[in-house]
Amino acid sequence: MKLYNSLTKEKDYVETITPGKVSMYHCGPTVYDHVHVGNLRSFILGDLLRRSFAYLGYEVLQVMNITDVGHLVSDGDEGDDKMTKALKREGKEVSVENMLSIARIYEASFLKDLADLNVLLPHHLPRASEHIDDDIAIIKKLEERGFTYTTSDGVYFDTSKMSDYGKLGGLNQDDGESRISGNAEKHQPADFALWKFDQNLGWDSPWGQGFPGWHIECSGMGMRYLGEQFDIHTGGSDLKSVHHNNEIAQSECATGVCPYVKYWVHGEMLNFGGAKLSKSTGGNITLQSLKEREIEPLAYRYLVLQTHYRSPMSFTYEGLKATETGLKRIRKEVIKLRELAGGTHGTVSGNSKVQFTEKIEDDLNMPQALAVFHDVLKSDLDPADKLVTLYDFDRVLGLGLEYYEEASFEISEEIQHLLNQRKEARDAKDFEASDRIRDQLSDMGYTVSDSDGEQRITKK
């Protein structure tokens, strides 16, 4: 596998620390709101890496954090914690307890999104609030080694003490002004908070009550589950210059182990209306909002596959709708192939598999891997062979083709009644009621999904 490594700025052959095994960490969501489809693009990248390595025969260990405290609104270590902002937004008193209860709501929503997108659950999903001790242990080491100083509002990492600070580059692009303004006590603009003091909110520490900085949380959780050195770290490209340069700095200076991470993989942004999609710029497109427009989540996954992860991607509803039509066409072909194959188990086409593998091994080239998929779909391969070849590729693509079912069973009157009620609720945009009926059907052993304004029901 070759991956573009932000550390070397080249496509590197991946040589994992332990042959045959790969360890990876993905920067996860800050659970102060529902995640948007831009965030989901970066989580799909993590999933594609995991699935690709598994396809190539590696044993994968995957960690994604849940940030439920410590992520400040600005990269300059100023302003509110994003979670505090959520508490204020929802009219709740600022306390650790309220913060964590809000976090659980959005965490559950995030996990539902992952399931809807066929993103495999990472092996560990640690919460930042449950790893404060890990963060404190790293800060102590940094203090012992002389990399920290304390100001009136926190404990800071002194970037001037690290000779190769900023290895990932991009330092002057989005730091500078914002990182120096308002915090005259910092010794250098790039210095960053390891621990922020807070009288109301926080945990005890050797330096005083407060909470960890967002960057140290990722070091804490990464090292806890993957050790002082691991293979791959991912995140959106917006995290590279500050969050990830800082994560490298504090990890390497605390442990002396270098490099902390061998391959840094950054996904490009999802844009909407010409700008990076983000909540603060009003582009709050969530998976739920797509469902409300009768667009099924897997269409979004298929859309993401069509752009290389290192290219910016522009989101339009029209584009997504067209992609959904394409996905339905693929499913129809699959159903036809199942009939033609008539239960015969085919053999994966060796030639096509070689081509497909070459594409994913070339820095995860999903658009070209999809092209191989479509070549197979159009080919005159024996239907049974074609079907298993497509299923084989789908282990990486994750479109759920093998398990896709059209309703092919007798629908009882009771179930039909519930489906009708659910349709009415959806038409009236009463999603609470429609979700309740979906849960009721789920308890009865059925899965309901929505596609093109229609409900699809399958037996579990």
Query: In this chain, which residue has its C-beta nearest to ligand AMP?
Result: 236
CB closer to ligand AMP, 151 vs 278: 278
DSSP type of residue 120: P
**Interface pick for ligand AMP out of 48, 60, 87, 270 (rule CB under 6 A):** 270
CB closer to Zn ion, 67 vs 286: 67
The two three-digit tokens of residue 399, written as one number: 């479109």
By CB under 6 A, which span of 54-62, 96-104, 271-279, 365-373 interacts with ligand AMP?
Answer: 271-279
DSSP type of residue 67: B
CB closer to ligand AMP, 196 vs 240: 240
By CB under 6 A, which span of 83-91, 163-171, 264-272, 438-446 interacts with ligand AMP?
Answer: 264-272
282 membership: H or E segment, kind and range: none
DSSP type of residue 107: H
276 SS3 class: strand
* 213 part of the interface to ligand AMP, by CB under 6 A: no
* 276 part of the interface to ligand AMP, by CB under 6 A: yes
CB closer to Zn ion, 218 vs 226: 218
* 29 part of the interface to ligand AMP, by CB under 6 A: yes
The binder of 30, among ligand AMP, Zn ion, none, by C-beta within 5 to 8 A per type, is: ligand AMP
* 41 part of the interface to ligand AMP, by CB under 6 A: yes
Contact 260, 229 (CB under 8 A): yes
Nearest distance, CB of residue 314 and ligand AMP, angstroms? 11
By CB under 6 A, which span of 26-34, 131-139, 356-364, 415-423 interacts with ligand AMP?
Answer: 26-34
* 376 part of the interface to ligand AMP, by CB under 6 A: no
**Interface pick for ligand AMP out of 269, 360, 381, 441 (rule CB under 6 A):** 269
Residue 353 CA, chain-centre distance (Å), reads 27
List all residues 6 or more positions away from 121 whose beta carbon is below 8 Å from its beta carbon.
Answer: 111, 114, 115
The binder of 210, among ligand AMP, Zn ion, none, by C-beta within 5 to 8 A per type, is: none
The binder of 301, among ligand AMP, Zn ion, none, by C-beta within 5 to 8 A per type, is: none
Find, among 414, 405, 401, the residue nearest to 447 by Cα.
405
| Contact positions with ligand AMP (CB under 6 A) in 222-251 | 235-236, 238-239
Nearest distance, CB of residue 168 and ligand AMP, angstroms? 13
The binder of 42, among Zn ion, ligand AMP, none, by C-beta within 5 to 8 A per type, is: ligand AMP
Distance CA 456, CA 441 (A): 12
347 SS3 class: coil
What SS3 string covers 76-98? CCCCCEHHHHHHHHCCCCCCHHH
**Interface pick for ligand AMP out of 1, 3, 22, 27 (rule CB under 6 A):** 27
* 277 part of the interface to ligand AMP, by CB under 6 A: yes
The binder of 218, among ligand AMP, Zn ion, none, by C-beta within 5 to 8 A per type, is: Zn ion
Question: Exposed e or buried b for every residue in 247-258, given b needs 16+ CB within 10 A?
Answer: bbbbbbbbbeee
Site residues for Zn ion per CB under 5 A: 27, 218
What SS3 string covers 3-55? EEECCCCEEEECCCCCCCEEEEEECCCECCCCCCHHHHHHHHHHHHHHHHHHH
Distance CA 150, CA 207 (A): 9
The binder of 29, among Zn ion, ligand AMP, none, by C-beta within 5 to 8 A per type, is: ligand AMP
Nearest distance, CB of residue 45 and ligand AMP, angstroms? 8
The two three-digit tokens of residue 161, written as one number: 């003490």
List all residues 6 or more positions away from 354 whose beta carbon is below 8 Å from its beta carbon.
Answer: none
The binder of 76, among ligand AMP, Zn ion, none, by C-beta within 5 to 8 A per type, is: none
Tell me the residue length of the chain. 460
Bridge partners, residue 10, by sequence: 5
| Contact positions with ligand AMP (CB under 6 A) in 158-177 | none
Bridge partners, residue 450, by sequence: 455
Footprint of ligand AMP on this chain (CB under 6 A)? Answer: 27, 29-30, 38-39, 41-42, 67, 235-236, 238-239, 267, 269-270, 276-278
